[in-house]
Amino acid sequence: MRLAGKKVIALVDDEVEDLELWYPVYRVREEGAEVHLAGLTKDQIYTGKYGVPAKADYSWDELSVADYDGILVPGGWAPDKLRRYPKVLELVRDMNEAKKPIGQICHAGWVLISAKILEGVTVTSTPGIRDDMENAGAIWKDEAVVVDGHIISARRPPDLPPYGKAFCDALAGE
C-alpha cells in the first residue's frame, strides 16, 4: 500500500457535502493512509447535507501540521463555516508553507481563499465561486481536477474519481 505510514486530516463541520468528505477519506484509506476527522469539538457528530454522520476524532486545536502529511477540505456548505475558524486557517496555511498536499473540492476553495494562499495558484472549484477564487488571485480553470504543486482541486462530486487519485498521487510524492 503506497500510502502506508501517511497521516491525513479531513476537516468536518455540519452541512459538509457527504460525498466530498467520504469518497476522498475512503480513497486515501484504501491506499493505506490513516485519516483523522477533525472538527471544532472532539467526539462531536457532525451531520452532512444528506444526513450522513461524521464523528470528529480530534478537535482542530489538538492537531499539529508536523504530525500530518496532508489535509482534505470538503465542500458543501461547511466551508463557509470552516473558514471562520482561525485554527482551520492556521492548519491550511501551515500545510501550504510545508508544501504538503492540500485537497479541496467544490466550495472548499472558500477556506483556501480565507487562508490567503491562492495568489498565483491555478485551481478549479464549483463554477459558483469562480469569481471568489479569481478575486483571491487564483488562476481558475474549468477542469475536473487541477494540480498546482501541492494544491489539488476539483469541481464537484462527478470529479471525485480523478480528484481522489490526484490527491493520493500527491501524498505518494508522484
Catalytic positions, please?
Answer: 106-107
C-alpha–C-alpha distance, residues 157 and 45, integer Å: 23
Give the burial class of 139: count Cβ atoms within 10 A of its Cβ; 0-12 exposed, 13-18 middle, 19 or more buried: middle
- Cβ–Cβ under 8 Å, residues 123 and 138: yes
Q: How many Å apart are CA 49 and CA 79, to the nearest integer? A: 12
Q: How far apart are CA 18 and CA 165, in angstroms?
A: 18
- 2 residue type, one letter: R
What angle is formed at CA 117 by the lines to CA 70 and CA 69, rounded to 5 degrees?
Answer: 10
105 CB neighbour count, 10 Å cutoff: 33
Unique residue bearing C-alpha cell 470538503: 74
